[in-house]
Structures are given as structure tokens and as C-alpha cells.
Amino acid sequence: MPAWLGLTVVLVMAAAVQLPVALDEAYYWTWSKALSWSYYDHPPGIAAAIAVARSIFGEGKLALRLISVGATLVTAGLVWSTCRRLVPQQPLLAGRLGLIGLSGSLLFVVGHLAATPDPLQGLSLALAAWMMVRALQPDPHPWVGAGAAAVLTAAVLFKHSTALLAGGALLVLLLDAQGRRALLRPQVLIGLGLGGLCLTPWLWTDLSSGDGATAFQAARVAHGGAQRGLLGLPLTLGALVLAWGPAAAVGSFGVWSRLAGRGPLAVRALGGGALALVLGCATAAYLGTGELNWLTPGLIFGLPAAVHFAVDHGARGVRGFAGASALTTLVSLVVLLHIVYPFAPLAAKKDRTMRAAGYAGAVQVAQQVAQQYEARLIVTRSYQMASQLRFHMQDALPVLEIGSKRRSQYDRWPRPSACPGDVVVVAWGRRDLPPGLQGERLGELVTAERSRAGRSLDPLFVQALKVTGRALCAEVEQ
């Protein structure tokens, strides 16, 4: 094993242990406590995966990180194998280029540490690409294509963007005679049917609800911000280089230039899927929205095609790909090391790896105050804060979330009540009481400090309260 690869694996595991439970990570944990076919933000795959991990490995951060780190390592192994199969004349070289291409993506190496839909979507796409390449080679096993079709279809249960990748690959196959023959195999049609069956309960529940994840994501893309217009194109290209690394991005441009019919069909199918995702992100950027991590699935799915393009260009292509990826891999290693032991001279508030630091201790303070005053629940304002409270208390007390800036799953769940005479504890990032909550303060305001590696973050302010107003009681009783 090359030294850089071993170092990357060690640092990924160490960073997974050290990285605090992310805000969204705790939010998805709360989903796993109330399983449903429809959630407000994303499809239900992440909730089901966390629920399974909890049932096997128990509660806590370890169970969450076994999901994300395990998925990341398996994804890397699948990409390595796919690259080797696409370049059978130089499999060792191709496999190494695939791994260094992945390690050169900061959003893959660091962004997949937390148990969010991203690492599970990435694992599904890597598996689908691996099976698709095998299915498009001479004399494939008859059911490999069925597996690719089923996985690529069902993976939409992790994230909607999977549909773009699947659609792009499907279009390339439909435009090629060999691809059409492969798609019309009975086993492939059966795989598509099985994948569709997996999606049906979610789609039916989500679309019939009127405010499910599909409606939320569509509105987010269409009305996420002020339109950028044509400025969205250079922004997308810049984001592409940042998300994939320059080597994978340039290699993908080369693959896309061959989509008209040059090169192996498997290479073009993978490249077409990645291109469809990039075009979708460019459309979102045109409309004024988008995030860097939206592009990462295209890297996982299309990287073997980019490696094939680099090797196809001989020594110069290989040196360029390996050299550029080595530089970005160094950046990934530095960031991982910073997560393990924060050393970069950044203000804690501006360090994205520190956003959720210190919540475990702060929540413990809130729980102690609740026990002291025998409070029946904890009140907070943000759905992310509510999720941190619930995770770090392991739902020892109910948490009443009374209104974030944006809608969340908490707006669909029944809320606990806070009626006159109830003793509650308010825990949030301000000294005053949340709007709509009236009561008699009990004891002093407690400041629950948050810090990591000697760096202070915004504290949690904790106040015991005897409720006098009926606003939050009437809301539930109605």
C-alpha cells in the first residue's frame, strides 16, 4: 500500500473519531427515531441506515461514524476496482490513479466523514458504476446488469440527484446500439422493476403529502436565491474544480468531448451520468442556488472514466493526473490533520470543522439544570439545536423546538406542550427568552461554554423557567 494511501486511511479514521457530531448528522439521527417513508428534507434512506446501525452497534457517535467511514472506504475500493477493469492493460496504474483522484477531493475525504446521505449515495453510485462496467464488457454475467439497474434506481432513496446521474447514463446507452441491446435484456428490465418497487412507497407518500422532500428540493432549486443567470456557468466550473480536484475535472472534460461515440461505451456511460449531474448543478446555479457537495456524486460515478482518459493519453496524461491529484491530496491530508488536532490559525467561528464542537458538554449542563428544577422538557429555537440536545441527551427529556428560520421535520412532528405551571429549561444561543414563551425565571441564567482545543465558540445559554403564558400550550391543544 502506498504511504500516502495508508496515511489517508489512518487520518480519516482518526478524524471520524475527533470530529464532533455535525448539526445535520444529529438531525438525521432524530429521523431514525421516527421512521417514515417521507421526510421534509431528503428521502428516507439515511434514516433507515442510521436506524439499522443503532440496532446493531448501539447509540452514540461510533454507530454514526461506522456508517459514514465504512461507506467511504467501500466506495474507494469499488472505484479502485472499476478503474482497474476499465484499463485492463494497466490495472495497477489505473487503480492507483482512481484512489489518488478520490483522495484529492476534499469534499469526498472530509465531506463524507459525517453520517449524512452523501456517503451512502456515494457508495450506491460506486457499486452501480462497478456493475455497469462489468455488464458492458464482453460475456458479462446475465444478472450484473440487473444489479446495476436496481441499485442505480433505488439509490434515489438517499438523494434526488441520483436520478440525474442515472438519466445521463441511460441517455448515452439509448443512443448507442450496443447500449440499447444491453438495456433490453430481460434481467436488466427486471432490475429496473425491482428498483422502481423500492421507490414506489416513498414516491407515493412523499408526493401525496404535498410538503415532502421532493417539493422541498424543487422549491429550493427554483427559488433558492436571486438568479445568477449566465454567471452560474463559470461558478459551476469553478465549483467543479474545487469539488473534484483539477485532475478529475480536466479528465472529465476529455471524456465529455468523446460522448458522440468515441471510446468504450462504459466510459461514455459513466461520463454521461456525471455530465448530467453537472448540468443540473449549472441550472441550479443559474437560478441562484447550489452547494459544492451537490457535485461530489458525479466524481464518484465518473472518476473511472476520467482515469481511462488520462491513461489513454500516455505518460503525459498519467503524470498530469497524478501530479495534480497529489497536490490536492496534500490539502485533504492537512485538513484531516487539523480535524484530529486543530492547528490552523483560524477563528473558531470561521472554521467549518468546529461548527458543532463543544455541544456535548453544553448539553450536559442543560440536562443538569433540568434535573435540578425537575423540568418536564427543554425548549429551544433551532431544529439543529433541538437535534443536538436530543442526541447528546439520548432523548432523556422531550425537546420543544419552537420555530427555526426554515421549515424542518419538526414542523411535521407533534410538538410537546409547555402549559402554565410547567417547569421547563430554555437552552439556546441568546440570553433572552424565545418569542412566544412567557414565564417566571427560576434561578440564574447559566452560561454553558463550548470549546475545543482551547478555542471558544458561541455558548449555550440555559435558563429554568416556570411557564405563565399559554401560547405553546394552546398550539398543541388545538
Q: Higher model confidence: residue 343 or residue 309?
A: 309
Q: Are residues 124 and 273 in the same domain?
A: yes
Instruction: Give tens-digit pLDDT for 65-92.
Output: 999 999 999 999 999 999 999 999 999 9
* Residue 454 CB coordination number (10 Å): 7
Give the lowest-confidence range in 13-22, 211-220, 332-341: 211-220
Instruction: Give tens-digit pLDDT for 407-433.
Output: 889 988 988 988 999 999 999 888 888
Q: In what order do the strands lie in the sheet with 439-452?
A: 399-401, 377-380, 423-428, 455-467, 439-452
Q: If you average pLDDT over every residue of the chain, what do you get? A: 90
DSSP string, 392-431: HHTTSS-EEE---SS--GGGTSPPPP--TT-EEEEEESSS
Which three-class secondary structure state does DSSP give residue 175? Answer: coil
Give me the domain span that covers residue 432.
Answer: 354-477
Q: Are residues 209 and 290 in the same domain?
A: yes
Cα–Cα distances in angstroms (integers) from residue 272 to residues 59, 149, 171, 192, 266, in the given order: 40, 16, 8, 19, 10
DSSP code of 254?
H
Which residues are within 8 A (CB) of 473 and not within 5 positions of it... i.e. 6 or more apart?
A: 417, 418, 419, 420, 422, 467
| Boundary residue ending a domain (291, 310, 340) | 340
Cα–Cα distances in angstroms (integers) from residue 29 to residues 33, 47, 250, 355, in the given order: 7, 7, 38, 18
Does residue 453 lie within any of the structural domains? yes
Q: Are residues 304 and 387 in the same domain?
A: no
Rg (CA), the chain: 24
Give the lowest-confidence range in 12-21, 210-219, 332-341, 365-374: 210-219
- What domain count does the chain have? 2
Which three-class secondary structure state does DSSP give residue 185? Answer: coil
Model's pTM, two decimal places? 0.94
Q: Are residues 113 and 250 in the same domain?
A: yes
Give the helix ranges, DSSP H, for 258-344: 265-287, 296-312, 314-340
